[in-house]
Amino acid sequence: MAQKTSWKEASFLFFEKDIPDIVRGHEIWVEHDIHNVSPGDHVTCDLCFGHNMESDKAIKIEKVTPVIFGTWGENHAVEVSALENHLLMQFTPACKGYHTIGVEYDGGILNLPHPGLEGPKYYYQYTKTIVPVGNFQTEHCQTEHYKAEYNLTVGHELEIIPLGYRQYKVGEYILLKIVYDRHALPDVIVYGIHAGNRENPIEATTDQEGMVDIKLEKDGKWMFKVSYRDPEKGVTGLYDKKVMTATFSIMKVGEKLWK
C-alpha cells in the first residue's frame, strides 16, 4: 500500500544541514511575470528550485524535461538555459489560448544513513503552470468547442489539475484535483503557499475524488504542493520506494478579473 507523506511528519528533515535539498523539502516550480502576451511573442519563464517559493539554486539542465501544450493540444519547442539561481525556459506561442508548461525533474536515487531515511529512494518531481496568450477567454470561453477540447492535464505521474481554471481574484476558491497514475488520489495533504507568507501554508486534505478547495486569501503569487511515497514503485536491488512531489503555480491573483 502506498504511503502518504505528511509535511508535519517530515518536518524534522529541515534541521539536518547535511541532507540533500531534494530530501529536506525542496521542490521545483515555475514563475513568470507575463502580461498581455500575443501569438508570436517571445515568452520567458523561470524554473526555480527551493522551498515554499523561495528560490535556492539552479538544478542541472540534463535532469529536467520540459513540455508545453497549447489549449487545443499543439506543443511547442522549449529552450532551457542556466542562470545563477534558476533555469530559464523560453518558447514562442503560435496561437491564442492557455499554454500549460509542465516540467519533470529526475532527482535520482539517494541512499542516506539518517534516522527515518534508511534505504535507497528514488526522488522525482513535477511542476506546471499556465500562461494565457491573447484575449481568447472572451472569444472562446463560452463555446462548446472550447469546453470540449480545452485540457490542462499534462499527464505527469503525480499531477495537480486545476478545475474551471480562470484568472482568480482575492477571496475566491481554486478547485484542484490530485491524480496519481491518472487516478484520483484521496486523503493526501495539499499545501497552498503564498509568496508573501511562505512559513504558514494553508493545509487541506483531498476527498475521495481527489478534490480539494483552497481559498485564495491574498493577491499575488501562489503555489500548491503535494507529496507522495510509493513503495510499490520500488525496484529490487536499486531503491525501496519512489518519493514524488508535484507543484502547480499561479502568478497573479488580483482584485479584478481580466477584461
173-201 pLDDT, tens digit per residue, is 999 999 999 999 999 999 999 998 888 89
Give the domain ranges of the chain: 3-253
pLDDT of residue 69: 84
The neighbouring-strand residues paired with 220 are 253
Give the whole-angstrom CA distance, residue 178 versus residue 157.
10
Query: pTM of the prediction?
Result: 0.86
CATH superfamily, with its number, for domain 3-253: Immunoglobulins (2.60.40.10)
Check: CB of residue 216 under 8 Å from CB of residue 168: yes
Within 13 A of 186's CA, how many CA atoms are on the CB side? 3
Ramachandran region, residue 177 (left: φ > 0; alpha: ψ -120 to 50; beta: rest): beta
Cell of residue 255, nine digits:
482584485
Q: What is the mean pLDDT of residues 7-15?
A: 43
- Distance set, CA 84 to CA 50, 55, 119, 152, 198 (Å): 13, 11, 33, 31, 22
pLDDT, tens digit (0-9, with 9 covering 90-100), for 36-86:
788 889 899 999 999 999 988 899 999 999 998 877 666 778 899 998 889
Q: Is the pLDDT of residue 8 over 70?
A: no
Q: Which pLDDT belongs to residue 204?
A: 97
Q: Check if the beta carbon of residue 173 is closer than 8 Å to that of residue 162.
A: no
Smallest Cα–Cα separation from 20: which of 86, 144, 127, 108?
108
